[in-house]
Chain A
Amino acid sequence: MARGLPDLSVHDTFPKLLLHHAAARGQQPAWREKDFGIWQTWTWNQVADEVRAFALGLKALGFQRGDRLAIVGDNRPHLYWAMLAAQSLGGVPVPMYQDAVANEMRFVLSHAEVRFAVVEDQEQTDKLIEIKNDCLTLEHVIYSDPRGLRNYTQPFLTSYAKVQELGRDEAAGFFEDSIAQGKQDDLSVILYTSGTTGQSKGVMLTFWNVMMSAKGAVEFDHLTANEEVMAYLPMAWVGDHIYSFGESLVAGFCVACPESSNTVMHDLRELGPTFFFAPPRIFENLLTQVMIRMEDASSIKRGMFHYFMDVAKRCGAAILDGRPVGFGDRLLYALGRVFVYGPLLNVLGFSRIRLAHTAGEAIGPDIFRFYRSLGVNIKQIYGSTEASVFITIQPNGQVKDDTVGVPVPGVELKMTDNGEVLFRSPGAFLAYFKNDEGTRSTKTDEGWVHTGDAGFLDDDGHLKIIDRAKDVGKLNTGGMFAPKYIENKLKFFPFIKEAVAYGDQQDYVACFINIDIEAVGNWAERRGLAYSGYTDLACKSEVYGLLTDCVNKVNQDLADDPHLFESQIKRFLILHKELDADDGELTRTRKVRRGFIAEKYAELISALYSDKTHCAIEAQVTFEDGRKGTIKADLRIQESERYQPMKKAG
């Protein structure tokens, strides 16, 4: 019961925790949502009532123990409550990616044999109507926002409010009895992986898995019931499920949902969360925006910004970690807080932030240092869906740029001979849904789970991840080739949005680059460089010049690394279109699908490994409404500088 956490051996399912919080802190805020321009708040009591009504309504519609309930939509309190309602009845929620096209949803709905689906609005309803006939088990679609659905007459459609109305007429007692039947080893959720590595798999997590993992993290970072957190990442992602749902119910803190996906940054600023979880991309975007705006600021502001950022770079992280810092620097840092850091944090929505986590991809060291130097205690964590997120977290005061921290209490680690990381923990998943073969190849009989990542423990016992185990390759010259490592270095530059490096079994490293249209567009505007769109801008020789400088700097950096100096980039090209999940080039969590891209752009790769200086390409693009079109371009291939290694390995 440390720090007032509920006893999880008694309250061993989420619905039980909900009832516990309703009794213990009934009047405290549990959920917020910005609607009609105002933050609407629900207390734990109100949430328990809403969940009860919806659960009983589901029961009235015929929901049985063990049934699966799909959830499709942006982060909305009503959708999280639907999860709790399903769990209350002994059912299993299956949150799905809301931006998936109908076809992608068909697989999950059929595979999980979903009977009930709760969707946010007309957009999602239309998708389900489209595939309803192919999903034989789907019986009911329940929509939360009735807008535009007035004239829909399909008999399987019901509104969320209507279901709750049905539930309010049901007899009392059933809800509580049904919750009491739940056990910690029951299945609590099935999360479908985004499919970075082929067909997505349904990861089955028990209440025990999710609760132990959430509890471990809550205790590790001393989270309390007073945190304020924003839920804005896809509900289907394990990160959101643990941070917004699991941890909130374990610790009893309030979670807020933004008004829409377009207003996240705005809402973040209004809310001022105390604990913030974001993939590196978000931190990068925020930093890029700050830098762009500073370029446009008046010279006095710009001067002040750069001066105090230098001060912060020198001593900010040390002050945050409680290391000794000279009086002069402390004084300057305090001044900087008044004039620059404070207002900047306020703009970013980080005024009240106590803790930030990042995971999913490696974060550029400079981005990471930028936030830490401002006093934001941002830490990297390492985890996976199969682990209910947490494997390692960086401990306070021992935060390094290039490691992901130490194992969370209860987690054991070991490495295979080829460097793959294995873990065993209370959060380790039960099995993949209807995929025994997949389960066997990932989870051993002793409970060790393969992560697929290559890494090692450093001298301080911190885990360092280099790349996906299967992606680490060798150059023909014998040097090690870790593509993600190089790509991450490139992506640190605000001008580069995405990069894909090739080099395994080749003579040298070559790569594709995607420019960041906002940053490069702004750069071009300030130089009076006219362009008509992405493709045109990406082909400009001035832009090639700009990016050559970036690549050269990465090469300089790589030259310093005893293991990776041979991975310096020799040739690169700028892609004529943005890599996009709709074209299958990225996963829904925006990870690069290397194999697919290599196949799709085989011509370009062979051009990179020839002495051609140009390559014509025609690529198919899929528009948001599903129509297809083609983009043609003649891409230039650029040579970059390669540097002498500073020190040799060994």
Chain B
Amino acid sequence: MSGSSHSKVIGDVILKCDNISLSFGGVRALTNISIDVREHEVLAIIGPNGAGKSSMLNVINGVYHPQQGTVTYRGETRRAMKPHETAQHGIARTFQNIALFKGMSVLDNIMTGRYTKMKRNFLWQALYVGPNLKEEIEHREVCERVIDFLQIENIRKTPVGRLPYGLQKRVELGRALAAEPQLLLLDEPMAGMNVEEKEDMCRFILDVNDEFGTTIVLIEHDMGVVMAISDRVAVLDYGKKIADGPPEEVRANKDVIDAYLGVAH
């Protein structure tokens, strides 16, 4: 795909989840899980359906509050994150099922990604004058850079509901990028895409990681994709972490093979 030699430097741990346990009534979604995320890396979380992957993202993101364990982000340890706090601290995410405003244009959807960075309340924003004008132009510029980056100039003004699924996923990534995140959480960014769309998405994810140095945590089922783009893979099964390491190592791990292919008891 490119003639580049990869030369990125993976930094220190920026996010540390310690002994996280989460249950819904009698269902134990996560049991005593610890995961580290290092700066600038692409970490893939994989596992069979119901393994607790999305729950893990939701804990990081502050949507779910675990009963046990702590989350340490950039040196600050919390019992649980809060969604608006995580957004303000530079963590953005996309969702497994597209969560865009279908009736709004691509540009407006991406602009919502700037919401946490807007200084004035919505009454002020309704006025397109003076300092509001300046602020709006600044935000628009960031969004335009994202649009340029994702090569969606031609659909800038198109309502999202009219776009094919693959492009909607790209717009959702755009909205997350508009927040200029340091940590990007992607929940199955390639689910339901065709081969070409997947290749495009892989390219964008790698480019985000490469150009902006954004740390990426992604959940994905396509093993080809996971092995190709991630620096490290963590494997969950029935709420437990069964492996964590570089892709080659994880691929050869017996527990992982058993979990994925099933094993005769």
| B144 interfacial contact with A, CB 8 Å | yes
Residue of B nearest to A36 (CB): B144
Q: A260-B153, A263-B154 are in contact. Are A151 and B144 (CB under 8 A)?
A: no
Chain B residues with CB under 8 Å of A147's CB are 149, 207, 211
- Judge whether B4 and A151 touch: CB under 8 Å: yes
Chain A residues with CB under 8 Å of B3's CB are 126, 129, 152, 154
In Å, the complex CA distance between A437 and B207 comes to 50
| B210 interfacial contact with A, CB 8 Å | yes
- Judge whether A151 and B153 touch: CB under 8 Å: no
In Å, the complex CA distance between A266 and B156 comes to 11
In Å, the complex CA distance between A259 and B148 comes to 9
Chain A residues with CB under 8 Å of B154's CB are 260, 262-263, 266
Chain B residues with CB under 8 Å of A150's CB are 4, 210-211
In Å, the complex CA distance between A149 and B153 comes to 21
Residue of A nearest to B1 (CB): A126
In the complex, what's the smallest C-beta–C-beta distance from B133 to chain A, in angstroms?
Answer: 15
In Å, the complex CA distance between A151 and B149 comes to 17
In the complex, what's the smallest C-beta–C-beta distance from A355 to chain B, in angstroms?
Answer: 28
The contact string, 1 if C-beta is below 8 Å from chain B, for chain A 262-279, is 110010000000000000
| A122 interfacial contact with B, CB 8 Å | yes
- Judge whether A148 and B207 touch: CB under 8 Å: yes
Chain B residues with CB under 8 Å of A262's CB are 153-154
Question: Which residues of chain A (132-177) have a CB below 8 Å from chain B?
Answer: 147-154
In Å, the complex CA distance between A262 and B6 comes to 31
In Å, the complex CA distance between A583 and B261 comes to 42
Chain A residues with CB under 8 Å of B7's CB are 151
- Judge whether B4 and A263 touch: CB under 8 Å: no
| A37 interfacial contact with B, CB 8 Å | yes
Question: Which residues of chain B (129-177) have a CB below 8 Å from chain A?
Answer: 140-141, 144-145, 147-149, 151, 153-154, 156
| B5 interfacial contact with A, CB 8 Å | yes
Question: Which residues of chain A (330-359) have a CB below 8 Å from chain B?
Answer: none
In Å, the complex CA distance between A122 and B207 comes to 12
- Judge whether B2 and A263 touch: CB under 8 Å: no
Chain A residues with CB under 8 Å of B151's CB are 260
Residue of B nearest to A145 (CB): B148
Q: Say whether chain A's binding surface is mostly helix, strand, loop, or mixed.
A: loop
The contact string, 1 if C-beta is below 8 Å from chain B, for chain A 22-48, is 000000000000011110000000000
Question: Which residues of chain A (216-259) have a CB below 8 Å from chain B?
Answer: 259
In the complex, what's the smallest C-beta–C-beta distance from B143 to chain A, in angstroms?
Answer: 8
In the complex, what's the smallest C-beta–C-beta distance from B256 to chain A, in angstroms?
Answer: 31
In the complex, what's the smallest C-beta–C-beta distance from B203 to chain A, in angstroms?
Answer: 8
Question: Which residues of chain B (95-146) have a CB below 8 Å from chain A?
Answer: 140-141, 144-145
- Judge whether A151 and B5 touch: CB under 8 Å: yes
Chain A residues with CB under 8 Å of B147's CB are 36-37
The contact string, 1 if C-beta is below 8 Å from chain A, for chain B 198-215, is 000000000100110000
Question: Which residues of chain B (176-210) have a CB below 8 Å from chain A?
Answer: 207, 210
The contact string, 1 if C-beta is below 8 Å from chain A, for chain B 75-99, is 0000000000000000000000000
In the complex, what's the smallest C-beta–C-beta distance from A73 to chain B, in angstroms?
Answer: 15
In the complex, what's the smallest C-beta–C-beta distance from B236 to chain A, in angstroms?
Answer: 32
Interface size range of chain A in the complex = 20 to 34
Chain B residues with CB under 8 Å of A259's CB are 153
Q: A36-B144, A37-B147 are in contact. Are A152 and B153 (CB under 8 A)?
A: no
Residue of A nearest to B141 (CB): A36
Residue of B nearest to A149 (CB): B4
Chain B residues with CB under 8 Å of A151's CB are 2, 4-7, 210
Chain B residues with CB under 8 Å of A38's CB are 144
In Å, the complex CA distance between A36 and B146 comes to 9
Chain A residues with CB under 8 Å of B156's CB are 37
Choose among A148, A153, A262 the residue with the greatest number of B CB atoms under 10 Å from its CB.
A148
In Å, the complex CA distance between A15 and B207 comes to 39
Partner among A35, A36, A126, A266 whose Cβ is within 8 Å of the Cβ of B2 = A126
In Å, the complex CA distance between A129 and B148 comes to 24
In Å, the complex CA distance between A151 and B144 comes to 24
Residue of B nearest to A35 (CB): B148
In Å, the complex CA distance between A149 and B2 comes to 9
Chain A residues with CB under 8 Å of B149's CB are 147
Chain B residues with CB under 8 Å of A148's CB are 2, 4, 207, 210-211
Residue of B nearest to A266 (CB): B154
Chain B residues with CB under 8 Å of A153's CB are 4-5
In Å, the complex CA distance between A152 and B210 comes to 12
In the complex, what's the smallest C-beta–C-beta distance from A582 to chain B, in angstroms?
Answer: 15
In Å, the complex CA distance between A149 and B210 comes to 10
Chain B residues with CB under 8 Å of A122's CB are 2
In Å, the complex CA distance between A266 and B147 comes to 16
Chain B residues with CB under 8 Å of A129's CB are 3
Partner among B140, B141, B153, B207 whose Cβ is within 8 Å of the Cβ of A263 = B153
In Å, the complex CA distance between A154 and B3 comes to 9
In the complex, what's the smallest C-beta–C-beta distance from B166 to chain A, in angstroms?
Answer: 15
Chain B residues with CB under 8 Å of A266's CB are 154
In the complex, what's the smallest C-beta–C-beta distance from B52 to chain A, in angstroms?
Answer: 35
In the complex, what's the smallest C-beta–C-beta distance from B150 to chain A, in angstroms?
Answer: 11
Residue of A nearest to B143 (CB): A37
Question: Which residues of chain B (1-22) have a CB below 8 Å from chain A?
Answer: 2-7
In Å, the complex CA distance between A37 and B141 comes to 9
Chain A residues with CB under 8 Å of B210's CB are 148, 150-151
- Judge whether A36 and B207 touch: CB under 8 Å: no
In Å, the complex CA distance between A153 and B207 comes to 17
In the complex, what's the smallest C-beta–C-beta distance from A138 to chain B, in angstroms?
Answer: 15
In the complex, what's the smallest C-beta–C-beta distance from B129 to chain A, in angstroms?
Answer: 19
In Å, the complex CA distance between A196 and B24 comes to 69
In Å, the complex CA distance between A266 and B155 comes to 10
Chain A residues with CB under 8 Å of B144's CB are 36-38
The contact string, 1 if C-beta is below 8 Å from chain B, for chain A 109-138, is 000000000000010001001000000000
Query: What are 28 A-to-B residue pairs whose CB atoms are below 8 Å?
Result: A35-B148, A36-B145, A37-B144, A37-B153, A37-B156, A38-B144, A122-B2, A126-B2, A126-B3, A129-B3, A147-B211, A148-B2, A148-B4, A148-B207, A149-B4, A150-B4, A150-B210, A150-B211, A151-B6, A151-B7, A152-B2, A152-B4, A154-B3, A260-B151, A260-B153, A262-B153, A262-B154, A263-B154
**B interface list, Cβ under 8 A from A:** 2-7, 140-141, 144-145, 147-149, 151, 153-154, 156, 207, 210-211
Q: Which 10 A-B pairs have the closest CB atoms?
A: A262-B154, A151-B4, A36-B144, A37-B144, A263-B154, A259-B153, A129-B3, A260-B153, A263-B153, A152-B4
Q: A37-B153, A153-B4 are in contact. List 6 more A-B contacts (CB 8 A).
A: A36-B147, A126-B2, A147-B207, A148-B207, A148-B211, A151-B210
